[in-house]
Structure 1
């Protein structure tokens, strides 16, 4: 029995390693100067405002978006919702609005958002993401808009361009 125990543990070692690899694959990736938006095809880095990216089950490609708004327009479609394993957006409080740094991606599901701001972004009203509620409230006080949680972002909200 003692000789069989190490052999029985062998598959568990691989299971742990696979999980680690999957988690590593879900880390945000840099947006290249030549990357195009998964929704509209525009050059992502050419425009201001926070960007987004997400990971889908069963694929190694990373759909990237010229705005967090476009990312939500894709992610909230019923046929896409179950396929998403991770979503990232730029933290607008930690990076330059005109040229967001990829070292400031945050988990989109835990972010706070300001919608209806006067701050210009690409593809309609900005959905400005923040890592803290305080930063979102400060931004809304300065540039207008209302503070929302992840679950408050809906296709209906995005369709209303006010």
Structure 2
């Protein structure tokens, strides 16, 4: 009898150990999956703006992207002003998993690719002479030194994300003033 109970006990330990390993494996997958899903995506030729359908690759200036909780697809923005207007909108209630803009100290202004930074940690220059897809835009930077250098060359004023107000990134009337349309 002692042998039979040892076999049963060992079998239980083995099953519990396997169940524990499976649980840990699944938890690990969930964490890496969440981390991967909040990582910035890269712009491809078909990436289009979630607000107006414009192809991102066709326009200069800083781009943006948002990942919402429970939504697999990246929401693209052809201009940082559009992304900021969505993030700062008082009626914005969707849970944002991550939001990224491009560091324009590193990205090519005319064909920006890569160099994604957290939109809520970025520094912004408003009112510069540089234009994006929607005309006047908000340039985004990872460092204050790079943002100040941009201000010296192109004008504008430097603000941190917490200093931005919805009225500073208002989209109303933008297309009405675009003479290229």
Q: Which TM-score band applies after superposition, normalised by the shorter structure? A: 0.7 to 0.9
Query: Unaligned stretches of 5+ in structure 1?
Result: none
SS at match of 1:89: strand
1:92 corresponds to 2:95? no
Question: In structure 1, what is the Cα distance between the partners aligned to 2:93 and 2:156?
Answer: 26
2:37 maps to 25
1:151 corresponds to 2:162? yes
State the 1:79 CA deviation. 4.4
Question: In structure 2, what is the Cα distance between the partners aligned to 1:65 and 1:83?
Answer: 17
SS at match of 1:73: helix
2:147 maps to 136
Structure 1 residues 79 and 17: alpha-carbon distance in aligned structure 2, compared to 1, 3 A threshold: farther
Alignment length (residue pairs)? 160
RMSD: 2.1
The structure with more radius of gyration: 2
1:39 maps to 51
SS at match of 2:130: coil
Question: In structure 1, what is the Cα distance between the partners aligned to 2:28 and 2:152?
Answer: 46
State the 1:16 CA deviation. 2.5
1:29-54 deviations in Å (ceiling 9; x for gaps): 12122222111221211111010001
Question: In structure 1, what is the Cα distance between the partners aligned to 2:146 and 2:93?
Answer: 28
Query: Unaligned stretches of 5+ in structure 2?
Result: 1-8, 175-181
How do 1:1-162 and structure 2 match up within 5 A?
A: 3=13, 6=17, 7-8=19-20, 10-102=22-114, 104-159=115-170
Question: In structure 2, what is the Cα distance between the partners aligned to 1:54 and 1:67?
Answer: 12
TM-score by length of 1: 0.88
Q: Does the CA-based 8 Å contact 1:39-1:74 persist in structure 2?
A: no
Stretches of 4+ aligned residues off by more than 4 angstroms: none
State the 1:141 CA deviation. 1.3
SS at match of 1:11: helix
TM-score by length of 2: 0.79
